[in-house]
Each structure stands twice: as C-alpha cells, then as structure tokens.
Amino acid sequence: MIDREYIHKVLQAGKNPSMDEIKRILLKAKKREKLNHLDIAILLNAHEKEQIEEIYEIAGQLKDEIYGKRIVIFAPLYISNYCINNCKYCGYKRDNKFPRLKLTQEEIKHQAINLEKLGHKRLALEVGESPTETPIDYVLESIKTIYDNSSIRRINVNIAATTVEDYKKLHEVGIGTYILFQETYDRPTFEAMHPKSLKGNYDYHLSAFDRAFEAGIEDLGAGVLFGLYKYKNEVLGLIIHNEYLEKKHGVGFHTISVPRLKKAEGMDLEDYPHIITDEQFKRLVTILRLAVPYIGIILSTRETEEIRKDLIDHGISQVSAGSKTDVGGYHDEDEENIAPDQFELSDERSVLDITKDLMNHGYIPSYCTACYRKGRVGDRFMQLAKSGEIGLICEPNALMTLTEYLMDYGDQELTKKGLKFVFSHAETIKNQSVKEKLKTNIFRIIKGERDLFF
Ligand code: SAM
C-alpha cells in the first residue's frame, strides 16, 4: 500500500507551486473537498508566508466548524516497561539496562483512582511488548481492573501489533480506540529503527489495523513519530494508509497522533537528521487538518505549553494533560518515582491548570466519552462528523462533562467562573430542544447526578 517511489515522485511534482495552484487547493480545503496526493504535496511545498498563514487559518476554522470549541482531554497510563524490542529511539528498549517493572492489579487500581482524582475520564493504556511478562491476559485484566474500580469511562489501548484473536479479546473487554503508531512509513527507516525485534516486521506492523478491524475494533488511532524520517513523506504515508483503510473497510483512522521525537535514555537526538522545526511541525499538523478534516488530531505533552496553545487554535482536537510516562507515575505525593520515564516531557502543567487555561482562551475542556458508549464508532461516527451533526453532540457533552469536572475538582473560584462559562456557551447552542435538554442536564449535574450524555 505504501509505495516509497510514488511518494517521492508526488512530492517532486509538487515542488515550486504557483500562487494560483495553492489558491485553488485552499479553496477546495475550505469547502472540505477531498484533496488529492498532489494537492497535499503542493501544500507541503508552499513557501509564501501569506499562503502558509492561510493554511493555518483554514485548519483552525475547519476544526471549529466540525467539532466546535471542545478540546478532548486524556492521560496516558504506563503499566509496564518490560520490552523485548530494541527501538533505537525509545527509553524502554531492551538494551537499556534498568530494573523492569509491571504493576500489580492493586497498583493499577491505585493509579486509576489517582487519575480519577485529577478529573480524568479517558485514558490511553501504554504497555511495552513482552509476550511473557505482559501477555494479552494481563492487559485484559488491567482494563477490567480500571473499569471496575474507578470512574474512568474510556480506555484507549496502545499495545504492539498483534493477532486477530488478541484484538477480538480487546474488543470484547470494551476498549475505546486501538492506537498504534506506524512510527515511520518509510520501510528502510522502519527496519533500521527496529533492529532484530518483533516490532521490526514492517508489513506485520502496517497491517495491524486490518486485523484489528477484522476483530471488530472500528476506532483506530494512527500516528507517526516525527523526526525519524522526512516529514513530508510521512504526511503522505498517513494519508495513503487512511485511504487504503477507507477503501478496504469503509472507515479510516479515528484519530491521528503527531508525536515528535524527544530525548530518551540511550539515544542522542543529534543522531536523527530529520528532526523537524516548530514551523515545520505547525505546517504538517495544519495540512493534516485540511487533508482529513474529520479525523481527531491528538497532541501530547511532548510539546511545550506555547506550541500546544498555538496548535489548539489551528486544528488540534485532543490533548493529553498532567501526563506521566513512567510506570506508576500517578503516585501519591508522599511516594517516590519507581521507574524511569520513557522520554522527556515539555508541558508539565496540572490538569487543573490546563483546564483553566483552555477556558480562558474560549475552549471547552471536554471529558466526554459518550460516542463509543453510544455505539457512535467507525463509519457511524464519521457520517455524523461529515453531516455536521457531531458538533451538536460534542459541544453539549463537553459542557456537561466540564460541569462535572467543575463540581468535583474545581476550587470555589473556578467552579463559580466555570459555571458562568458553561451557561453562556449553552446559550449559543442553536438547536432549541438540545439547548433546553442541555440546560436541564447541567442543573441535574450541579445537584449531584453524574454521567449524563447525548
Ligand atoms: N509497545 C507499543 C508499541 O510498540 O506500539 C506501545 C508504544 S510506546 C509505549 C508509545 C509510543 O511512544 C511509541 O509508539 C513511540 O512513537 C513513542 N516514543 C517512543 N520513544 C519516543 C521518544 N524518544 N520520543 C517521543 N516519542 C517516543
């Protein structure tokens, strides 16, 4: 599906675009018309400041038109750092010698409760690959432990590529999105980055979403680790992979993550010639929003507060908050860290500070997990997104979950200010019956009811 030569040729053909060509493509993007590979290559090669600014602006508009002002919040949860792989860039690679650790079910329960205390409702479960230490049964048991012992309502799962049978088990236990980053779509780079390991099988890794889909998982979360290879080629790789899935299964990615390579134990950033600048990063994120306007785009705390704020204005729809990338990281204040980080983080603000900050900038921090619990997954979700109906659901749900957050985790000042914010946003809902129901629900939540959603 990924033809290296083809990607190279398209990017060559898109070089030195004229102003008129770019104008034509931006017009298409504004109307949410599908961009072809050459269009995307041309945007990636745009060099006039004015046009680049316009790409940024359209990306922000598209996100607002489709999803409104809501920004979904989540946190990663690392439960084991055992790993048989040797990914050159990763702090958990097997050549890094440190005492490996996997959490017991009791410890996982403790982590989930601490995440709940921060206000989280949505997690991304992260596990290194180790068939002996963390087989699928361990992952399944851990998911049940979290669901049974906390108010976490959606667990997305980021585990290594596996079999249809394993994916079926994950589906049965009720996961949200299955996340797997391709890391790089460039085969030679992929093979060089994953030497002598299970993960080193490019085709097996690339076809993981086909197996997950066959097993019934319809929300698939893709990603590239930017910095391993040329970012323009990677953007086209993502687009082609998504189109392949749409054609074959009738549904493409649910989300795209855009992690950038960070310093980790046992690797040196200087060894990576394709590290991208902040400007290139902004360009690729915004072009992704234009190319696949309906797909969620996720930004992690690998990025600085400044970059996150900027990109939230330009197409990002989900962010992690208060993240820890060490096993057992969400410990009590009087407890010590027990394991090393997988990589360094740049935005260490608390969930509360991020929530406040989003509201100060007019965004609705959303702790919503309604879609997958209502069966709005895969193509059903995308149809709603394309028809514009998702905004009608997303904003009210965001406002209701924000009200929960304010009542349960806000200090007096935030709760007072926040409720004003919630009611003023509720007033802007255009559909009268949704607006009335929403306002009633907000009052019910203030009085103590929980987990109300459309
Ligand atoms: N074991 C699973 C797998 O192989 O897909 C989970 C992967 S890991 C817990 C999550 C992601 O962290 C990886 O897919 C990779 O993209 C990212 N990652 C690893 N090392 C990184 C680094 N040095 N900087 C930024 N992200 C990194």
| Residue 82 near ligand 1, beta carbon < 6 Å | no
pLDDT reported for residue 392: 85
Give me the tens of pLDDT residue by residue for the chain, a chain 454 residues long: 999 999 999 999 999 999 999 999 999 999 999 999 999 999 999 999 999 999 999 999 999 999 899 999 999 999 999 999 999 999 999 999 999 999 999 999 999 999 999 999 999 999 999 999 999 999 999 999 999 999 999 999 999 999 999 999 999 999 999 999 999 999 999 999 999 999 999 999 999 999 999 999 999 999 999 999 999 999 999 999 999 999 999 999 999 999 999 999 999 999 999 999 999 999 999 999 999 999 999 999 999 999 999 999 999 999 999 999 999 999 988 888 889 888 889 999 999 999 999 999 999 999 999 998 999 999 999 888 888 788 889 999 999 999 999 999 998 989 999 999 999 999 999 899 999 999 999 999 999 999 999 9
Choices 3.20.20.70, 3.50.50.60, 3.90.320.10, 2.40.50.100: CATH for 67-348: 3.20.20.70
- Residues 6 or more apart whose CB falls under 8 angstroms from that of 256 comprise 221, 222, 223, 238, 288, 292, 295, 296, 297, 298
Tokens linked to 377? 């997954």
Ligand 1 geometric centre to CA of 308 (Å)? 19
Does 221 contact ligand 1 (Cβ within 6 A)? no
- Quick check: 230 and 274 in contact, CB under 8 A? yes
What pLDDT shows up at residue 333? 84
Instruction: Give phi and psi for 71, each to the nearest 5.
Output: -125, 120
pLDDT of residue 338: 82
| Ligand 1 contact via 341 beta carbon (within 6 Å) | no
Closest-CA residue, ligand 1 atom 13, reads: 181
Atom in ligand 1 nearest the alpha carbon of residue 85: 4
Give the number of the atom of ligand 1 that is nearest the alpha carbon of residue 126. 9
Q: Where does 188-231 show beta strands of DSSP type E?
A: 220-223
Element (H, E) at 52: helix 49-67
Q: Is the CB of 220 under 6 A from ligand 1?
A: no
Query: Which of 129, 342, 345 has most ligand 1 atoms within 8 Å of its beta carbon, as the pocket-test mutant?
Result: 342
Domain-by-domain residue ranges, the chain?
4-64, 67-348, 388-446
Taking the CA of residue 264 as reference, the ligand 1 atom at the shortest distance is 23
The answer to whether the CB of 258 is under 6 A from ligand 1 is: no
Residue 13 one-letter amino acid: A
> Ligand 1: distance of its center to the CA of 66 in Å?
29
Query: By alpha-carbon position, which residue is closest to atom 6 of ligand 1?
Result: 159
Neighbouring residues of 97: CB distance < 8 A, sequence distance ≥ 6: none
Q: How far is the CA of 16 from the centre of ligand 1 (A)?
A: 35
Q: Which of 176, 184, 232, 191 is nearest to 8 (CA)?
A: 232
| Predicted structure pTM score | 0.97
Q: Is the CB of 90 under 6 A from ligand 1?
A: yes
Q: Burial letters for 286-313: b for 16+ Cβ neighbours within 10 Å, e otherwise?
A: bbbbbbbbbbbbbbbbbbeeebbbbbbb
Amino acid letter, 294: Y
Rounded to the nearest whole angstrom, what is the distance from the C-alpha of residue 67 to the centroid of ligand 1? 28
Ligand 1 centroid, distance to 69 Cα (angstroms): 29
Helix intervals (H) in 216-350? 231-249, 278-291, 305-312
Q: For the residues of 134-173, what is the DSSP string, one character each?
A: S-HHHHHHHHHHHHHHSS--EEEEE-----HHHHHHHHHT
Tell me if 89 CB under 6 Å of ligand 1.
yes
Question: Does 302 contact ligand 1 (Cβ within 6 A)?
Answer: yes
